[in-house]
């Protein structure tokens, strides 16, 4: 009993880690630009496929590639247009993937883990090593991102832009460069998530990222828009909540994230760790 619980919790934490990555991707762009980058789900798929294609037998962060070269940072005055543009970018990406790779699923080769045992038995619980690896990579990415944001010059500059872009520019920070950096990192996080999910589960098709993108959105609101610790906590919470859905109701599992999202929006629109926004007149 305790073994199954342990296994369930680990599964939950692993998918929660990926949700957290996606939510952090949204958070980075949202905090500097105040918009949601809806192309993130497609970037997640792209990351999965790139990792699959570039996989040289070992886990690599190749999924991080898609952040590069995205046509973002386009100066749009209206958030609504940015929203549509990012949706369009996502549509293009997913359909390009479908065109080039087909609609069929891809399973990663067994050599993907390079000699790691498939699973270890720990006190009666069978723990897939890929899950542990996934959790470790997520944790490493999250810690690295947090350290960078808190300690490094460029990270602090990004936070300054998020706080107040005009003041940051007056202080000599290149706001536009920071914006591009935020987009790049955001895409890299989502792509990394896609690569990890591909290795641990497989890629069921180009639309794999859309579902994760939407869940990431739920996590984003759960944790509080623009809050980094909120995105991490929200991701883990969401993963664990989903893992605890009993098997008989697994069809409804996908609705859980959105039911939670709905409840959070209504009870505490600022999210768990979000800041209260005061409407200025």
> Would you say 35 or 50 has its CB closer to other proteins?
35
Give all strands (DSSP E) within the chain, no chain letters. 119-122, 125-128
Q: Which residues make up the interface to other proteins (CB under 8 A)?
A: 35-36, 38, 71, 74, 76-81, 83-85, 87-96, 98-99, 210, 214, 217-218, 220-221, 225, 251-252, 254-255, 258-259, 261-262, 265-266, 269, 279, 281
Distance of closest approach, residue 36 Cβ to other proteins, in angstroms: 6
Tell me whether residue 144 is exposed, middle or buried, using C-beta atoms within 10 angstroms of its C-beta: 0 to 12, 13 to 18, 19 or more.
exposed
> Would you say 92 or 107 has its CB closer to other proteins?
92
- What are the distances in angstroms from CA 134 to CA 18, 141, 201, 235, 269? 8, 11, 11, 14, 31
Distance of closest approach, residue 71 Cβ to other proteins, in angstroms: 8
> Would you say 120 or 259 has its CB closer to other proteins?
259
Q: Which of 96, 103, 94, 88 is nearest to 43 (CA)?
A: 94
Sign of the C-alpha dihedral computed for residues 111, 133, 185 and 220 taken in this order: positive
Q: Kindly report each contact of residues 156-165 with a partner whose C-beta sits within 8 Å and lies 24 or more positions away, as own/partner.
A: 158/28, 158/32, 158/182, 159/31, 161/32, 162/31, 162/32, 162/226, 165/32
> Would you say 98 or 202 has its CB closer to other proteins?
98
Q: At what angle do helices 129-151 and 153-163 cross, to 10 degrees?
A: 80
> Would you say 68 or 252 has its CB closer to other proteins?
252
Distance of closest approach, residue 231 Cβ to other proteins, in angstroms: 14
Rounded (5°) CA angle 260-9-144: 85
> Would you say 173 or 261 has its CB closer to other proteins?
261
Please state, in angstroms and rounded to a whole number, the distance separating the CA atoms of residues 76 and 265.
27
Distance of closest approach, residue 83 Cβ to other proteins, in angstroms: 8
> Would you say 56 or 269 has its CB closer to other proteins?
269
Sign of the C-alpha dihedral computed for residues 107, 92, 255 and 271 taken in this order: positive
Show the tokens assigned to 119: 């699973």
72: number of Cβ within 10 Å: 21
Distance of closest approach, residue 130 Cβ to other proteins, in angstroms: 27
Distance of closest approach, residue 65 Cβ to other proteins, in angstroms: 20
Distance of closest approach, residue 226 Cβ to other proteins, in angstroms: 11
Distance of closest approach, residue 60 Cβ to other proteins, in angstroms: 28
> Would you say 155 or 206 has its CB closer to other proteins?
206
Beta pairing partners, 128:
119
């Amino acid at each position: 009993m305790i073994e199954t619980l342990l296994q369930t919790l680990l599964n939950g934490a692993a998918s929660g880690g990926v949700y957290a990555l996606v939510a952090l991707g949204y958070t980075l762009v949202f905090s500097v630009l105040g918009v949601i980058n809806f192309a993130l789900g497609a970037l997640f798929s792209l990351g999965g496929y790139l990792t699959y294609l570039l996989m040289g037998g070992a886990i690599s962060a190749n999924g991080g590639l898609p952040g590069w070269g995205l046509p973002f940072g386009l100066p749009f005055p209206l958030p609504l247009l940015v929203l549509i543009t990012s949706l369009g970018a996502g549509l293009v990406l997913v359909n390009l993937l479908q065109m080039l790779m087909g609609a069929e699923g891809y399973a990663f080769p067994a050599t993907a883990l390079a000699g790691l045992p498939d699973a270890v038995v720990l006190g009666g619980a069978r723990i897939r090593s890929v899950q542990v690896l996934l959790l470790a990579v997520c944790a490493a990415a999250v810690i690295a991102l947090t350290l960078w944001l808190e300690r490094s010059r460029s990270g602090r500059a990004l936070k300054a832009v998020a706080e107040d872009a005009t003041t940051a520019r007056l202080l000599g920070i290149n706001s536009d460069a920071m914006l591009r950096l935020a987009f790049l990192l955001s895409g890299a996080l989502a792509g990394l998530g896609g690569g990890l999910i591909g290795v641990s589960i497989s890629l069921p098709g180009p639309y794999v990222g859309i579902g994760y993108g939407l869940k990431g959105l739920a996590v984003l609101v759960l944790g509080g828009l623009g809050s980094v610790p909120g995105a991490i906590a929200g991701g883990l919470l969401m993963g664990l909540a989903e893992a605890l859905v009993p098997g008989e109701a697994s069809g409804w599992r996908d609705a859980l994230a959105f039911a939670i999202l709905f409840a959070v929006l209504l009870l505490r629109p600022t999210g768990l760790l979000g800041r209260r926004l005061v409407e200025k007149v």
